[in-house]
Amino acid sequence: MTTRVALVGPLPPWRSGIADQTLRLARAMRALGVEPIVVTFRRMYPRFLYPGKGTGDFLEREEGFGAGLSDVRSILDGLNPFSFFSSSKEILASGASLVVIPWWTAYFAPHVLLLFAGLSRDGAGATTLLLCHNVFDHEQSPLKSALTRAVLRRADRFVVQNARSAGEIVSERSDARVDVIPHPSEPRAVIPDRAAARARLGVPADVPLFLFSGILRPYKGWDVLLEAFAAARREVPEAQLVLAGEAWGSALDVPARAPAAVRLELRYLSEDERALWFAACDAVVCPYRHATGSGIAADALAFSRPVIGSAVDGLAGIVEEGRSGLLVPPGDAGALAAAMVRFVREGLGPRLSAGAAHRRTVFTPDAHARRVLSAGGIDV
């Protein structure tokens, strides 16, 4: 009998690293011979919860979901928690013995609790595994924490990305199985040529280029980076910085705050555009104040690009200090500036890029999928 797994979460074209990772996980499962049923969103967030300038995550369409997958059902409605309860009927009918649920925000706590209720009716025996991108929200509140704890009490098993997150689970559920599995990095079969990428993007061939990629949210420390880059450029005046991603909330005033030699690409970038910027840069900067994982750091390694970032849990587990990147205390603009200057003056790019190229072979989607399945009791 073929093992069936249900994967319940967002897929592209939803705009998030979590959607990208869900798709990679589903494809990797399929390649391993475990064909997942993927239950995804037809609507996700209401507009007021997505403080960007564009249409945000509120995309009421089904085109493009699950390219390369055979069983994708876009039936979840982020504005209707009971759609999760209804989806449990299809999941149980598929014969899935394991239900993997990406978890990252308490907004979806009522939805997931109703899914759990539906999966447990009539004595059904599917194992539920919470794949935690965050355990608790980046911006916490007593209500969010209470909702998160309610979900943690109901899940059977957990996968987290670092030891600190594991500790958060254990403090709530000392009886549960918790596996620590770092964020995967998908090695690129073909990396765009650096010189060609720079030519297409209008970047001079010989300047040091640092890249910040992703949504500009407070916890990601984009403001710390602007301060650090201004200081670094006094030492390395030819350096350039690119901020590539949608601006949220207070980041909408970035154009008025950015120092000289900062290029702003403040919009959602397609995968091809992101690939060009990763290929064109010398290093990816991740100045996070806190993070449980980082898809951007994983993408940097996938493109053999070193990471200059904060020594937070989400980076320290995948970036090797002095081998595939440089790590500094979070929130310390002076230390970040010094690391950027050191990177240029000591010519660390080739050595750290070689370390990143090696590191990217460790956390592949295939290895990640095997470990997630094993955490759910399925060995392949």
Q: Is the pLDDT of residue 62 over 50?
A: no
Say if CB 345 and CB 237 are below 8 A apart: no
pLDDT of residue 140: 80
State the pLDDT at residue 335: 97
How does pLDDT run across 301-338, given as a tens digit for each residue? 888 999 999 998 878 878 888 899 999 999 999 999 99
Q: For 106-141, what is each residue's pLDDT tens digit?
A: 999 999 999 999 998 766 678 999 999 989 987 789
pLDDT number for residue 201: 94
187, pLDDT greater than 70: no
Find the mean pLDDT for residues 56-60: 43
Give the C-alpha separation, 125 to 98, whole Å.
9
Residue showing tokens 């407070």: 218
Nearest to residue 108, comparing CAs of 18, 197, 194, 232?
Answer: 18
Token pair belonging to 283: 């290093």
Band (166; pLDDT cuts 50, 70, 90): very high
What are the beta bridge partners of residue 327? Answer: 309
Above 80 in pLDDT, residue 46?
A: no
How sure is the predictor about 248, in pLDDT bands with cuts at 50, 70 and 90?
confident
The strand order across the sheet containing 72-77 reads 72-77, 36-43, 5-8, 98-103, 127-132, 157-160, 177-180
pLDDT at 1 over 50: no
d(CA 96, CA 100): 10
Q: Which 3 state secondary structure label does DSSP give 99?
A: strand
Res 274 pLDDT > 80: yes
CA angle centred on 304, ends 231 and 251, rounded to 5°: 40
Q: Which range has the worst mean pLDDT, 47-51, 218-222, 265-269, 337-341? A: 47-51
- For the chain, helix, strand, coil in percent to 5 are 40, 20, 40
pLDDT of 7: 96
Greater model confidence, 363 or 225: 225
| E runs forming strands in the chain | 5-8, 36-43, 72-77, 98-103, 127-132, 157-160, 177-180, 209-213, 240-244, 262-265, 283-286, 307-310, 325-328
Percent residues over pLDDT 70 in the chain: 92
The pLDDT of residue 123: 63
Task: Say what the pLDDT of residue 105 is.
Answer: 92
With cut-offs at 50, 70 and 90, classify the pLDDT of residue 57. very low
59 has a pLDDT exceeding 50: no
Say whether 338 sits in a helix, a strand or coil: helix
What would you measure as the largest C-alpha separation in the chain, in angstroms?
68
| Most confident of the following: 42-51, 104-113, 188-197 | 104-113
- What percentage of the chain exceeds 90 in pLDDT? 58
Note the pLDDT tens digit of each residue in 195-236: 999 999 999 999 999 999 988 888 899 999 999 999 999 999
CB atoms within 10 A of CB 68: 10
Q: How far apart are CA 95 and CA 5, in angstroms?
A: 8
Residues 281-297 have a mean pLDDT of: 87
- Looking only at the bridges linking them, the beta strands covering 72-77 and 98-103 are unpaired
Q: Which domains occur in the chain, in start order?
A: 5-181+364-375 (3.40.50.2000), 194-359 (3.40.50.2000)
Instruction: Provide the 8-state DSSP code for 220.
Output: G
* C-alpha to C-alpha distance for 351 and 343, rounded to whole angstroms: 10
Q: Does 61 have pLDDT greater than 60? A: no
Three-point CA angle 252, 314, 290, nearest 5°: 45
User: Residue 380 — very low, low, confident or very high, per pLDDT cuts 50/70/90?
Assistant: confident
Question: Residue 53 pLDDT more than 60?
Answer: no
Question: Which two tokens mark 107?
Answer: 């907004």
Question: 54 or 45, which is more confident?
Answer: 45
- For the record, the structure tokens of 30 come out as 């399929």
